[in-house]
Structure 1
Amino acid sequence: MESYWKILLIFAVYWQSILILKQYGILKRFNIDNHGPLLMIRTTKGQKFLDRIASAKSFWRLFGDAGIPLMLFGMFLMFALIIFSDILMVTSLHEQTMPPPSEIHELRNIFLIPGINEFIPVVWGIIGLIVTLVVHEFSHAIMSKAEDIRVKSMGIILVLIPIGGFAEPDEEQLFGIRDKDKGRENEVTPDQKTATRRQRVRILTAGVMANFVTAFVAFVLFFIVIGSIAPVSNVVITDVVLGSPADDIGLTGMTVITHINDKKIENGSVFHAHIASLPVGEVFKMGIKKDGKTSEVLLKPDIEKGGIISGVKFNEIVPGMPGEKAGLVEDTIITRIDDVPIYDTQDFSDFMVNTTSGQEIIIYTIVDNEQINYSITLASHPADGEKGFIGISGFSTLVISRSIGVSVGEYPARELLHFLQMIPNMMTGVAGWVILLVLPFPNPFISFAGFNTSIYMFYEPIGWAVPLGVGVFWLANSLLWIGWMNFYVGLFNCLPMLPLDGGHVFRDTLHSILARLFGNEERMGVIAGKVATGFALLMLASLLFMIIAPKLAHGL
């Protein structure tokens, strides 16, 4: 709550500053308009540069024509997704199965604004947003020039930070401005032209087409880059015991273990097996990676504190389930179930998949270095009523080596990278596109917002990327967010919702269809405008419903 007050205070100071600058004419002096807290910074520079780029008029018109069916397909897809989501939510409300609201339903996470949306990293999000806005608005401006429509100005939109860009084609030429007194379109001077409907649609679809092309190029480059990244290990030190051999040589948490002697350590099970097989009291070499640097250290186990423990740690308990009723607590380590040793998450999964509802099991655990056993009668699994369910989640493999004084956990580095590299192969089906769309957000597949410091420590560049060092991860992050932002903004602008590009294209397309069917161009234009406005209100109501429905269902 305190952070919201800080944001509110910053916003209040910002808005007051705008009012003061406007009062003294400073905004006008620098060609800046404001609409409440929103600033539009204009410039007329760059016209000759636009003319040079737009000189290949045939190419740009072909580019715009290619964007029309793409825009219409995106429009249908987005409309269908929103209506389908609304139907699912209404059904959930009726059947009282609506899941509780999550972070996705928070207002700040609806907007694709880095620093506001908690799922978008600030630096990479800003890079992606800037590229997206520049590409989108420059494409409108270039296409306007190619169609001989004057571009009055270009600029950026600010609300504390850049949230958009704009190009201002001459509205009289692009849309036609009706004379308020005579109720007809203004006359066009001889040196002006009014855009045909086809030209107008080309100009409006150019931004979306450019976003999709940029997204395609960025994603292709992203998948090429991650092809030159390899996992070094899945194993990381999570804790070091004070006064232990590991502590004596300066080992700390968040250190990746790459090998022991000449044995590559790929997962917790291999670490357990190799530590257990070492001769008692013998010094061994451990390869580590910390802060992007690899090295080797020498360790001598403490034979008086021998022993190694492997198991599965869980960090969440489902209320009302057998685990909670039996007294299980979070961060407990499961080492055995009945007579079956549990060394890692795969062992746990293999055991549970063969259980049944009502089956009694004994779970052997370690809690705060104390061994505790629990007798539990399994409930029905929510996803498969025949299988047993303890009511715990958030699993991870944990290995504790008392002789060297470390706790070791696993991160699925190898599995994550393999999944990301397989996404292009999934793009031939619907699943691949859905995964790409929801990738940065919590989802049933995998969540990945880029290689942050706690993730890229598990990887290293290979091949041509070796000279880049850590820069290869920065490059991958930039490409990921440039691609994702362009993809998402392109889809959003396809919505048949004024004043978005898709809304204008929908209105013009409907106008053309109605005029061909019924004639009376002017009247059909009025009808198309009213239908487009109705669709815009419907889309807005649908989006708001998706945000507030989970909160209403749970009385929040």
Structure 2
Amino acid sequence: MNIIFTVLSIFIVWAIILYLIKRGGKQYGLEVMGPLLAWKTEKGKKFIDNISKNKIWKHYGNISILLCIGAMILTIYLILLNVIIAFQIPPERAPSPRLILGIPGINPAIPIGYGILALAIAIIIHEFSHGILARFGKVKIKSLGLLFLIFPIGAFVEPDEEQLKKVSRLKRSRVFAAGPASNIIVAVICILLLSFVFSPLINSKTSGVILENDIGDVSKWSIITEIDGNEISNVVDFKRIENNLTAGKFYNITFFKKGYETKRIIFGAYVGNVVKGSPAEESGLKKGYVLYRISRSNGSVELKSWEDFYKALNSTKAGEKIWIAYYFNDSYSNISVILADKFSFTNDEEDKGKGFLGIGAYGIEDVIRNI
């Protein structure tokens, strides 16, 4: 409730600021555009005029066009590929919406400070590239500026629209392509610097695999280095060792985070989420339970990973009874569950008659990667 009140208060204050600026902010170069505030200035125009005189910008503009065409084709391919993949990912394995959005602070993989800095650099390079190619094409620049939505969220170079319409299609294309092409080029340069200049300078003292989710008492971003005294250098090592482990049993995991530690961890499929109204919820299964065996009338499957969990349930039918062995709160237990019809939860015709438990589960092998 306090968060909602704080957010509402901030936006109310912002609305009042916009109202006051709308009444008398033009003399300071301030202009209200809906919920956005634009600050326009002519500072920087001379710099763009001077730098745009070099004939190299003609070649840069042509390369930018080709680069953007290539990026457009690749983007369309990746979008189509993601559409296809999206239909193949089970709901319980779908990535969090926070991971899909590339916004600093919302996406946990993008730190706020570095994310905002990178965004600011990208915007400045993008807009100055548009401005330089516009001036090279003899198009007047009216102003430069920043966009605010409480905080700075963008920058712009405002060309003379009428002049831009009158120049040739090739010159317009150079202007439009320069911004995104510059961002692509800078991104490639940064990747090369990180790969070939900075990475060799990092002397990794710890080899192992990085944990990307919490597993028992071992928190994410820990580096697993040993299992029961067996050293681990990479994911291949981990899977080789895991083949000799038994689901439902405890093993000593040595890991490094702030220092080296060893903890006993049970191997199995860790429940990450439970679907509301599902048989899993009705049977009392909760996040944090560790499932280590699913039994059916025709046999049982040990659970060490999501793949094992999927294999155990993939051929089940709606109304079928299964038995689940699990560990939780320092004790082992078993429950029986009657599976629901998967169609009732997915509305997919192909799921009619299939068994549905209603949990998302993962093993250690599902949440590790090489350093």
TM-score of the alignment, normalized to the shorter chain, above 0.5: yes
Match of 2:91 in 1: none
Structure 2 gaps, min length 5: 88-94, 344-349
Is residue 163 of structure 2 the alignment partner of residue 173 of structure 1? yes
CA distance in 1, matches of 2:338, 2:228: 44
Q: 1:238 to 1:133 in 2, by over 3 A?
A: same
Candidates 358, 361, 366, aligned match of 1:391: 358
Q: How does 1:265-414 map to 2 (within 5 A)?
A: 265=232, 288-291=255-258, 294-295=259-260, 309-318=266-275, 322-324=279-281, 326-338=283-295, 342=302, 344-345=304-305, 349=308, 352=311, 356-358=315-317, 361-376=322-337, 390-397=357-364, 412-413=367-368
Candidates 203, 214, 217, aligned match of 1:239: 217
Match of 1:54 in 2: 52
Cα RMSD, aligned residues only? 5.2
Candidates 107, 131, 134, aligned match of 1:144: 134
CA distance in 2, matches of 1:18, 1:124: 29
Give 1:369 deviation, angstroms.
3.0
Structure with the bigger percentage of helix: 1
Q: TM-score, normalised by structure 2?
A: 0.66
Q: Deviations over 1:118-168 (max 9, x none)?
A: 886432331232122112210111112212333233221112111221112
Q: How many residues end up aligned between the 2 structures?
A: 338
Give 1:198 deviation, angstroms.
3.1
Q: 1:10 to 1:231 in 2, by over 3 A?
A: farther
Give 1:18 deviation, angstroms.
4.1
Candidates 192, 196, 202, aligned match of 2:168: 196
Match of 2:347 in 1: none
Structure with the bigger percentage of strand: 2
Q: 1:29 to 1:320 in 2, by over 3 A?
A: closer
Q: 1:212 to 1:36 in 2, by over 3 A?
A: same
Give 1:15 deviation, angstroms.
3.1
CA distance in 1, matches of 2:283, 2:273: 14
Letter aligned with residue 173 of structure 1: Q
Q: Deviations over 1:488-511 (max 9, x none)?
A: xxxxxxxxxxxxxxxxxxxxxxxx
Q: 1:60 to 1:331 in 2, by over 3 A?
A: same
Match of 2:41 in 1: 43
Letter aligned with residue 8 of structure 1: L
Instruction: State the secondary structure of the residue aligned to 1:148.
Output: coil
CA distance in 2, matches of 1:255, 1:368: 23
CA distance in 2, matches of 1:61, 1:209: 14
Q: 1:288 to 1:75 in 2, by over 3 A?
A: closer
CA distance in 2, matches of 1:411, 1:174: 53
Bigger relative contact order, structure 1 or 2 (CA pairs below 8 A, ≥6 apart): 1
**Contact kept in structure 2, 1:356 and 1:386, CA below 8 Å:** no
Give 1:206 deviation, angstroms.
2.0
Q: Deviations over 1:344-367 (max 9, x none)?
A: 227x71783597324654322233
CA distance in 2, matches of 1:34, 1:210: 29
CA distance in 2, matches of 1:309, 1:239: 10
Q: How does 1:216-235 map to 2 (within 5 A)?
A: 216-221=188-193, 232-234=208-210
Match of 1:406 in 2: none
CA distance in 2, matches of 1:117, 1:309: 30
Instruction: State the secondary structure of the residue aligned to 2:363.
Output: strand
Q: TM-score, normalised by structure 1?
A: 0.47
Q: Which moved more, 1:64-73 or 1:204-213?
A: 64-73
Is residue 177 of structure 2 the alignment partner of residue 205 of structure 1? yes
Q: How does 1:59-208 map to 2 (within 5 A)?
A: 59-68=56-65, 71=68, 104=97, 114=104, 121-175=111-165, 195-208=167-180
CA distance in 1, matches of 2:282, 2:52: 70
Q: 1:118 to 1:253 in 2, by over 3 A?
A: closer
Match of 1:13 in 2: 13
Q: 1:314 to 1:217 in 2, by over 3 A?
A: same
Q: Deviations over 1:290-341 (max 9, x none)?
A: 33xx4478x9xxxxxxx98533221333456554565544432223344868
Structure 1 gaps, min length 5: 87-91, 93-101, 177-194, 241-251, 279-285, 300-306, 398-409, 418-458, 460-556
Give 1:233 deviation, angstroms.
3.5
CA distance in 2, matches of 1:396, 1:277: 14
CA distance in 1, matches of 2:96, 2:220: 29
CA distance in 2, matches of 1:396, 1:127: 36
Q: Which has the larger radius of gyration?
A: 1
Give 1:2 deviation, angstroms.
5.0
Instruction: State the secondary structure of the residue aligned to 2:32.
Output: strand
Q: 1:28 to 1:395 in 2, by over 3 A?
A: same
Give 1:53 deviation, angstroms.
2.6
CA distance in 1, matches of 2:73, 2:210: 43
Instruction: State the secondary structure of the residue aligned to 1:239.
Output: coil
**Contact kept in structure 2, 1:356 and 1:380, CA below 8 Å:** no
